[in-house]
Each structure stands twice: as structure tokens, then as C-alpha cells.
Structure 1
């Protein structure tokens, strides 16, 4: 019994030492769920961007929307400007695991670059446009409507960079012989590519499933994105647990 207890204690001690050796990775991993939780709070209850308000409204209705939610929009998007860097840490953790794969590091660099470019129209434009609309509420309603359209078309319709990001990620997983992430995650990523392309008609339709608040352009893509993020968080945790503390990752 004493020998068994000692063996178990030794295993726990070695596990603790391994975790301390990967403390930086665990800090980055915890940023991931915290950031996306804040992201949800900002975009859903505070700013009302998710689900998106209707595109088929008049300038006066848009002005009334900003008047009704001015304070929470300022709080929400002001908070976004503070925490937006958390997304970079989360994406860097994904790129770190990609560099452990038996593929060229170009895949990881491409993944980071597409997100860096896509995050500007896909996230920051919406925040800046909404904050600008609430900054001077006495502006011409037509200008307020212009900011409203820019924000939501940018947020829902920023397609190319994100579709490329998901495709790069899927190809990296398929080509990896080290099995850092399971192949089924690549198929989830490919579904993300499909949903990005299905949102392309938001620039044409103001009503129906292909409008920016439609069942296909928004709700379907958002549901699959939620699954994607949940799977990614869980799989990154497993990847960090399996990763040797003294492993050298290629530059």
C-alpha cells in the first residue's frame, strides 16, 4: 500500500512539474475561453449586433435603435477595444500547435496573417462604426444609417480572409503526420468555409435567409462557429496536455 501511494504521489508530482514547464501555454489557453465569453457578452446583450438588427428599416428607425441602446453600445464596444488583443493570443496558440505539425511553418504564418487582416473589417469596423454613430447623435439620420450599414455589412460579410483561414487550418490538419489534432476537426473547419461563402449574398438581399440577419447568412454560420470554437478549445487543451514540456517547436 505504501509503495502504491508513493508511486501515485510520484506520478502527480511529475505531472505537476510538466504543467509548470508549460505554464505559458496554459496562460494562453485560458485566454481563449475568457476572450470568447467576453466577445459573446459584448456582441449579444451589450451592443445588440448579435443577432443582427434588421437591414430593411428606415433611417429614422436606425436612429431610434442607436438612441435606445447608446449607453450599452458605448460600454460594449469600448470594452472590445480594450480586450481585442486576447483574440491574437488565442490565435497564436493555434498557430503554435500548427508549427508542431509535420508541415511547413508557412501554414501557421498564413493562418495568423489571414486573421490579422480579417479581424479589421470583421470585428473592429463594426465597433468603430457603432461608436461613431453614438458619438454625435444629432447627425443627419442618413449618415447614421450609413454607419449602421457599414458596420453590419462588414461584420457579417467579411468573407475571404476567414474562409482562407479555415481552409489553411483544414489542410494543415489533413497533411499533418504527427496527429496534433484529429482529422474530424478539419471537416468542422471546412464547414466554416462553407458558411462564410453562404454569407456572400448579404450585399444583395435585405430580407429573407440570405440577408445579414437571415437563417443562412447569420444563424446557420453562427451555430457552426460556436461548435467550431468549443471543439477547438477542448482539442487545444488535449494538445497541450500531450505536448512534452521540453519540446522544441520550429521557428
Structure 2
């Protein structure tokens, strides 16, 4: 493949990450009105009432994510390709990042599809609606533990990079480690119905949400720079081998 085409595709893949972030924010927060989350202590009637009132928005939020979530895959692949530069070929870190990233779109779409199921038929038994709502929030927040590994290996790759011009800056490595720690408490939603570890709590929802946003924006910035640096390296190699 021509290098111009290759790096154009790389940059497009990073832009896919931008599109997913914007679509996710719009779908989840504005269209679906799922921020702030429903309280874990809400009654069946309260949950059913919320879904009935926001039925259209919830269903369209799933449609939006269904269209844009697959764009996460090019973003995940270009991330692994940059990590591959650090390892000198496909290695443990780049492969773990890629395999854990495969889960991400499913981790968003499947829980939201469950919530759409709860809202799909008006007049459904409130107890069934409550059951599906619980499954949505527990799965959506609790599955973040898998993403902890994804973020952590990106951080490790940045910290072990010994190239004269590192692919990722060292500060970004530490940012990933901090983000991984911040995302971990989400797994405790399964044993918490209130307090900071509940799905709407400080440690399970609020801090991880802020950490994810900061991480995602930083990831986009450093990936654009990494692709640019690889392109410059490729230009330097061509004259040397000509």
C-alpha cells in the first residue's frame, strides 16, 4: 500500500474514535437522558415511568450507538499498530490491547439493547422493566473492569518505550495507569445498591466517567501525534534506502 494512503487511513481511524466519543455522549446524555443514572433504589413503578416517558429517546440512543459503535474497531487497531512500533512487532501488550478492545463496542451496545428491550413495549409489567433496567446498569458499569486491562497495557507500553523518540509521551503512560485504577471500582456495583460503589455512586460512576473522558481526549491527541511521527519516520527511511 502506498504510504500516503496508509497514513490517511491511520488518521481516519483516529477520527473514528472522535466520532464514537461524540456519538456516545449525544446518545447517552442528550437523546437517551441517561445522565444522571436511575437510582438503584428506585421502585419498579418509578423505573417503568422513566422508561415510558423517555421511550423514544432510549430507542434512538441505541440506534445511534448501533451505527457508530463499530467505528471503535479502526480506532482500536490503529492504537495497537502504534504499540506495535514500541514492541518492534506484534507482542504481548499490543495483542492484549487489541483483544480487550474488541469487547468495548459489545460492552456498550448489549446493555443498551437490553434497556431498549425494557422500553420497547409500552405497558410491560413494571417488575420485568425493573429486571431489565438492573441488567442494563449492572452490565454497563460492571463490565468496565475488562477495559481496565485495555487502558493499563497502553500505559505500560508508554512507560517501557526506550525509543529515542517515544511513540507515546511518558506522562500519557502514567495517565493510563491512573485511569485504569479509576475505572476498576465499577466491578463493585454487583454488591452495592447504594453509596459510592453503586452504579450511580462516586467511585463506580462519577469518577470513572470523568477519568474516561480525560483519557479518551488524551488518547486522541497522542494518537494523532504518533501517526504523524510514524509518517515522518517512513519519509526518512525512503531516501536512506533509495
Matches of 1:205 and 1:44, distance apart in 2: 24
Which of 69, 75, 80 does residue 90 from structure 1 map onto? Answer: 75
Matches of 2:221 and 2:233, distance apart in 1: 22
Matches of 1:107 and 1:164, distance apart in 2: 10
Contact 2:152 2:176 in 1 (8 A): yes
The structure with the larger Rg is 1
Give the match's secondary structure for 2:111: helix
Matches of 2:11 and 2:152, distance apart in 1: 26
Deviation larger for 201-210 or 87-96: 201-210
Matches of 2:225 and 2:233, distance apart in 1: 17
Residue number in structure 2 paired with 1:36: 21
Which of 133, 143, 147 does residue 162 from structure 1 map onto? Answer: 147
Contact 1:202 1:217 in 2 (8 A): yes
Contact 1:63 1:145 in 2 (8 A): yes
Say whether residues 1:123 and 2:121 are aligned partners: no
Deviation larger for 142-151 or 192-201: 192-201
RMSD: 2.1
Matches of 1:20 and 1:141, distance apart in 2: 54
Give the match's secondary structure for 2:36: coil
Contact 2:38 2:47 in 1 (8 A): no
Give the match's secondary structure for 2:175: helix
Structure 1: tracts of 5 or more residues without a match: 1-16
How far does the alpha carbon of each residue in 1:124-182 deviate from its partner, in whole angstroms, 9 at most, with x for none? Answer: 22211111112222221111111100001111111331111122112211222221001
Matches of 1:218 and 1:22, distance apart in 2: 36
Contact 1:32 1:90 in 2 (8 A): yes
Residue number in structure 1 paired with 2:195: 208
Give the match's secondary structure for 1:101: helix
Q: CA deviation at 1:19?
A: 6.0
Structure 2: tracts of 5 or more residues without a match: 236-242
Which of 75, 100, 106 does residue 114 from structure 1 map onto? Answer: 100
Which of 198, 215, 222 does residue 235 from structure 1 map onto? Answer: 222
Contact 1:102 1:175 in 2 (8 A): no
Which of 35, 38, 41 does residue 50 from structure 1 map onto? Answer: 35
TM-score, length-normalised on structure 1? Answer: 0.85
Contact 2:69 2:105 in 1 (8 A): no
Matches of 2:138 and 2:127, distance apart in 1: 16
Contact 1:19 1:245 in 2 (8 A): no
Contact 1:21 1:245 in 2 (8 A): no
